[in-house]
Amino acid sequence: MEIKSYMTRIGQQARQAAGRMAKADTATKNRALTYIAGAIRRDAALLRAANQKDLDIARDNGLEPALLDRLSLSDKAIETMASGLEQIASLPDPIGEISGLKLRPSGIQVGQMRVPLGVIGIIYEARPNVTVDAAGLCIKSGNATILRGGSEALHCNQVLASLVREGLKNAGLPQQAVQVVETTDRAAVGELITMTEYVDVIVPRGGKGLIERLMRESKIPMIKHLDGICHTYIDDCADLEKAAEIAFNAKCQRYGTCNTMETLLVASAVAQDALALLARRYQDEKVELRCDEKAYEILHGYPYLARATDEDWTTEYLAPVLAIRTVNSLDEAIDHINRYSSKHTDAIITENYSHALRFLREVDSSSVMVNASTRFADGFEYGLGAEIGISNDKLHARGPVGLEGLTSLKYIVLGHGEIRK
């Protein structure tokens, strides 16, 4: 009950701050962002000390090395946070922009104005940099935000929160525009995702387990993706050198990211040559290849070879493992992707114009690519300037979500006394 009233107060404060943030002008918001960037650099030592405290506790609690790694805040990571805020400050302000004004036969002019969503709840795991990125994006887009970071990063997040508050205050903005939930009680998350009156959208950042739980329990719309089962399809008209380069990059450039390729589809007609080229590269990285019958035969002798089962088509490995399937046509490739893909990012490698256009139109994923690595599916690479998350859903934002995904368009009508006849 205490958690409930604590969260309700946070919600009410956020709702109130949201009203003031929606009115804030661009220069004021940028002043806050730039100030916070400076304060982060100024207090880098403080941040490292708080981070050390978090790391010590985490180690005592036996946190996995991978999580410890994501929790730790290097000098470089601190500088990246600060410069990230400056980059957000340099982006155009989306709020208040009027677009598409059209004169209607009745005499009214109808257009749309971009406005903030209101209050954004962000739920994330260990990484403390999310605190600053998310705060920055929400400030710039005129929203209030409630941040619920992983309990492992609590000390560091508290320092960051105080720097953000300092920046807001300094710019004359409400300090409660960015609130960090300062309890590690999991019930706080339960409250956050059901306070429909105070929170307009939830952005969860974390593993599949977290997202699945939130999907079941949230009463508030979410901007989210569950997993990234990304495909690369090597078409029978592909340039095979290009194909090998891209397929290697899509799998091996980083294993743990959601835009990493997990399944490779190869047109049967070129499977022999394409897989031979790829096997040499994958072998250096000890990538396990889980193959359908035909690919298995072709790759006979490859040291990390296995047979694929149906489960492999829906598995996000996040590891040096790749499922490989041969297909007899573009149709078969598109069908496989629309059936098994997580609708995140899928690519075709082809020199055939019609195949490229059909793939772009018919693959029902949030990012569809021709002759490029799936690893490009990212807010920075797409030129959004920053990214609050990636959405695999079709409503509202789809794909990498930047400032615009934290806004909505309302209709505005400019009249001169018109009445409806």
List of residues contacting its own copies (CB under 8 A): 19, 22-23, 96, 102, 104, 106, 108, 110, 113, 115, 117-118, 200-201, 221, 239, 242, 245-246, 248-250, 253, 338, 347, 360-362, 364-373, 375-377, 381-383, 393-396, 398-400, 408-420
Pair 261, 340: CB distance under 8 Å: no
Q: Which of 42, 126, 125, 139 is nearest to 85 (CA)?
A: 139
- Name the minimum Å distance from CB 46 to its own copies: 34
Q: Which helix (H) or strand (E) holds 116?
A: strand 109-116
Task: Name the residue nearer to its own copies (CB basis): 247 or 275.
Answer: 247
Task: Name the residue nearer to its own copies (CB basis): 19 or 256.
Answer: 19
Task: Name the residue nearer to its own copies (CB basis): 200 or 292.
Answer: 200
> CA separation (Å) from 387 to 151, 256, 382, 404, 405?
23, 18, 10, 10, 9
Burial tier of 117 (Cβ tally within 10 Å: 0-12, 13-18, 19+):
buried
Task: Name the residue nearer to its own copies (CB basis): 112 or 268.
Answer: 112
Distance CA 78, CA 130 (A): 12
Ramachandran angles phi, psi of 32, nearest 5°: -60, -45
Burial tier of 60 (Cβ tally within 10 Å: 0-12, 13-18, 19+):
exposed
Q: What are 199's two structure tokens?
A: 């929170």
Task: Name the residue nearer to its own copies (CB basis): 28 or 338.
Answer: 338
- Name the minimum Å distance from CB 411 to its own copies: 4
- Name the minimum Å distance from CB 298 to its own copies: 23
Distance CA 147, CA 203 (A): 10
Task: Name the residue nearer to its own copies (CB basis): 77 or 409.
Answer: 409
Region for 310 from its dihedrals, namely left if φ exceeds 0, alpha if ψ lies in -120 to 50, beta otherwise? alpha
Pair 34, 90: CB distance under 8 Å: no
**206 CB-side CA count, 13 A:** 22
Task: Name the residue nearer to its own copies (CB basis): 96 or 320.
Answer: 96
- Name the minimum Å distance from CB 345 to its own copies: 8
- Name the minimum Å distance from CB 249 to its own copies: 4
**100 CB-side CA count, 13 A:** 10
Cβ atoms < 10 Å from Cβ of 207: 11
- Name the minimum Å distance from CB 285 to its own copies: 14
User: In the chain, what's the furthest Cα-to-Cα distance?
Assistant: 80
Task: Name the residue nearer to its own copies (CB basis): 214 or 369.
Answer: 369
Q: What are 302's two structure tokens?
A: 């490859």
Q: Which helix (H) or strand (E) holds 263?
A: strand 261-267
Task: Name the residue nearer to its own copies (CB basis): 66 or 414.
Answer: 414
**262 CB-side CA count, 13 A:** 24
- Name the minimum Å distance from CB 50 to its own copies: 33
- Name the minimum Å distance from CB 129 to its own copies: 20
- Name the minimum Å distance from CB 151 to its own copies: 29
- Name the minimum Å distance from CB 44 to its own copies: 28
Task: Name the residue nearer to its own copies (CB basis): 50 or 134.
Answer: 134
